[in-house]
Structure 1
Amino acid sequence: MSTVTTSKVNTIKTLNNISEKGLNVFSQEKYTIDDGSENPDAIVVRSFNMHDLELESNLKAIARAGAGVNNIPIDKCTERGIVVFNTPGANANAVKELVLTTLIAASRNLFDGAAWVKTLEGEGENIPKLVESGKKNFVGKEIKGKTLGVIGLGAIGALVANDALNLEMDVIGFDPFISVDTAWSLSRNIHRAMSLEELFAKSDYITVHVPLTPDTKGMFNAETFGIMKDDVYILNFSRGGLVDEKDIAVALEEGKVGKYITDFPNADVLKMKNAIPIPHLGASTNESEENCAIMAAHEVKDYLETGNIKNSVNFPNASLPYTGKRRVTVFHKNVPNMVGQMTTALSDYKLNIADMVNRSRGDYAYTMIDIDNKVNGEVLPGLEAKIKEITGVVSIRFI
């Protein structure tokens, strides 16, 4: 059980280089950026591995300036009542541009062609003639009229799908969990696959934009390759574990898969025939890093100052307009009568509820309560102790 109360100045610690534009979101009046702090209020991180770090008692929030949170101990944070944010969509344009760039470049054999031209160094005046005679080895194909299958129609997948249509590709998408906002943003000309098998069977190119979970791990494997067209191109800018590397090595060798473009190279990938390893450049643009940092900072700032939560991976999203009244926030187990016990605790101190929101996510829930009365500071310790007595309460915070 953790119990925290906001202070006038919050300490923010960064574990990677974070864009100044992001850090500037934290005003000097309310925040201190201290990378040496041993007990910060919040941490902003990119790829730093936090699994072996001690989570100190004052830590309330961790924001990942990016989408993936594999480097953060989510379960440990949840048990401690520490909210973990990510920044979905902030790097979407950067990834989209790289997906489409590599799709076209691979189709035209630009990677192999450019590497070959570099080998002509020292040939002097013979280079133009050698280029003309050698270019026949790098004849490619156009993407116009080909079918692109997009698995996962979130922020990135939706952009890829729409822009591929503008490149005159036929686009088929599959996402059983598509959000309403994304559905509105998708072109009506994108065909909906009713199953992954349908998408696999119809696509000349397949790009995947889903998280790595037990259900999606190894979703590209010998069985699914068997459903696909011969010479299919597969683009993986999501997570390496989505592809069974032993199976795709065989598929590449046999020509079932024509090219495998991945942003997650390793020793096995480098040995594969017709694999195109990209050095994890998906979100590596100045604009993307700035967007992610700004979004992460705003998420932390809003949570610390109001208790509102958006884009958390372990807490439910919850929002309540902040009017300056004393606010109680409680992270607790999602079991019956939790809210009733909290409101009873408030009534024992003759406190009226001005507004309240309760949201759940799996086994846990989050409750925010605004108190109508002007609360004497001497009341808070007693109220805090009263709520802490409720079985299932994980953390309490007063704003």
Structure 2
Amino acid sequence: MTISVPDHPQRSPLGRRRILGWLYQGLLVAGLALIAYVAIGNLYANLAARGLKLGFDFLWQEAGFEIAFHLIPYTASDNYWRVFLIGITNTLLVTVLAIAASTVLGFAIGIAQLSSNWTVSRAARIYVEVVRNLPQLLHILIWYNVALRALPAPRAAHSIGDAAYLSNRGIYIPGLTTDRPGLLALSILLALILALVLFRNLTSYAERTGRTVNAWLPAFAVLVALPALAIVLSGAQVSFSVPHLRGFNFVGGWVIVPEVVALVLAMAIYNAAFIGELVRASIESVNKGQREASAAIGFGWWQTLRFIVIPQAVRVLLPPLSNQYLNILKGSSLAVAIGYPDLVGVFTGISINQTGRAIEIVAMTMGVYLAISLLIGALINLFNRMTRIVER
């Protein structure tokens, strides 16, 4: 009997499909690269026809315009790079404050919707339905033009204990002044992060061991000691001042301009309605039998919520909550409607009109929003991994 053996073994169907898959992916990448090449070529050709060119040399040109509110020192003689930094810091300020306020208010609204008290639950439900069905821009305009602009002038400002004042030019509060505000802000931010990490670790240790640990005192000590140590080591000049009326305006202390207050209040109230719904849904996703079991062993309502329900609900809550935080970041661009100098207002708006570098400026703005969005997503994912259930 003669057995013939083929010179080349036939490829299996799985191997052929894999080769075809790589071929199709290669063709797709090549097609996308060709489209990008043609688009970039057309862009350079159109710019050359108009006598323009791409570049970021404009960032070192003098801006020549004032910015009403800024966290870092700025004058009209500074360059566009400083304008870019001011836009980023102003955007981050309202975003962080709005995220913190909307999270606290949203959790309260979400828990209130599940209250056994009929009045509380109905009031929370009405809040959610009314607030989330109105445009966010309308919320901002209402708070800015109706609520804050209705406050009196500085000479007739509302006084709170002769220490803080409410006027149509802003909220004036006692505060620290220093010749190195950047260092002070950075040290406070670092101290806040370390205090939160320390508080969480001490709380987790107390829960694991059953010991009584005062987590508040060490966290507060870190929050106070770290900025003080940074100031002492750097030799910065620091003074404490209380606002007082001089002429037609207040001097001393800190001022929170109406635009910041309106933005933070409007964004917090608006987004808290959505976060409240997310919190309600995540709490209801926890099996009812676990609440009944916790009540059977003597847990009260708050203990059941704190130790049983919320730790499980958080794992359901985090993915949609991160999307809501991204909406807060992107919604901060509506600040241009009330003249707040955020990144879109002072950089994508005024700077484009003065320099004509639309492509570069828009690309930088897109890059900033993308970077902050990725950072928020990374922090949420990190927290999600920290709170996950570890299975054996």
* Common fold: TM-score over 0.5: no
- TM-score scaled to structure 2, two decimals? 0.19
Structure number with the bigger relative contact order (C-alpha 8 A, sep ≥ 6) is: 2
Which entry has the higher C-alpha Rg, 1 or 2?
A: 2
Higher fraction of helix: 2
